[in-house]
Chain A
């Protein structure tokens, strides 16, 4: 299995609090992605990174920010969590951004009360 970990694996928080999710990889892959998965929707891209300090928005980026200061770490921050951000968050990595397969982390279940 690809070396991807996510932390925390589960989190319950209250509306209005900041939350940071961490994705860590040991594969030295250039591309990293944050997705959310909700019932009735496919995985939806929040943000992605194509290198250290190089990030871009996905289709559902409102309310989220990211940072990548090292190849191995990609952080997702909810500045002020809302109940609509209750979801399962998956990090993924890829060695090739266009034609490559992605490998996923185990996911983080976030509940915003």
Chain B
């Protein structure tokens, strides 16, 4: 099993739709979780951290399910500008400061 797994997509959704991505992780001791956004040929940028209680930032909601070892990202009222690849990142507490990146889920929002 990969340490961090994501559905590569693409998810093609119309403008205004709600879309959700999941990301599963293998290490139950992981403590820190993040969602990053990466535009084509650009660097990843932090979208939001994922807290145990869940968190929301405008149209974006992140959730953590420790029992099933996955995090999720929900995007409401999708905009064309949301088209990007979404990377989940998990910190593996192996004694070193190591972040494991998923391969990303590609989202295309269609007009």
Cβ–Cβ < 8 Å partners of B45 in chain A: 104
Complex Cα distance A43/B87, Å? Answer: 9
Among B11-19, B52-60, B62-70, B90-98, the one that faces the other chain is B90-98
Cβ–Cβ < 8 Å partners of B42 in chain A: 106-107
Q: Is B103 an interface residue (CB 8 A)?
A: yes
Number of A-B contacts defined by CB within 8 Å? 52
Complex Cα distance A45/B96, Å? Answer: 12
Complex Cα distance A50/B38, Å? Answer: 25
> Is chain B's binding surface mostly helix, strand, loop or mixed?
strand
When each residue 33-47 of chain B gets 1 if its CB lies under 8 Å from chain A and 0 otherwise, what string results? Answer: 010000000111110
Among candidates A45, A48, A98, residue contacting B93 with C-beta atoms closer than 8 Å: A98
Q: Interface residue count for A (Cβ, 8 Å)?
A: 26
Cβ–Cβ < 8 Å partners of B27 in chain A: none
A selection of 23 A-B contacts at a CB cut-off of 8 Å is A31-B97, A35-B101, A40-B103, A41-B103, A42-B87, A42-B102, A44-B101, A45-B98, A45-B99, A50-B97, A56-B96, A90-B43, A90-B44, A97-B97, A98-B32, A98-B91, A99-B91, A101-B34, A101-B46, A102-B89, A104-B45, A106-B43, A107-B43
Complex Cα distance A45/B94, Å? Answer: 14
Cβ–Cβ < 8 Å partners of A100 in chain B: 32
When each residue 38-78 of chain A gets 1 if its CB lies under 8 Å from chain B and 0 otherwise, what string results? Answer: 00111111001010000010100000000000000000000
Cβ–Cβ < 8 Å partners of A104 in chain B: 43-45
Complex Cα distance A33/B98, Å? Answer: 10
Q: How far is the CB of A47 from chain B (nearest CB, A)?
A: 11
Asked if residues A105 and B43 are in contact (CB atoms below 8 Å), the reply is: yes
Complex Cα distance A42/B102, Å? Answer: 5
Asked if residues B103 and A58 are in contact (CB atoms below 8 Å), the reply is: no
Closest B residue to A33 using CB positions: B99
Within 8 A of B (CB), among A78-113: 90, 94, 97-107
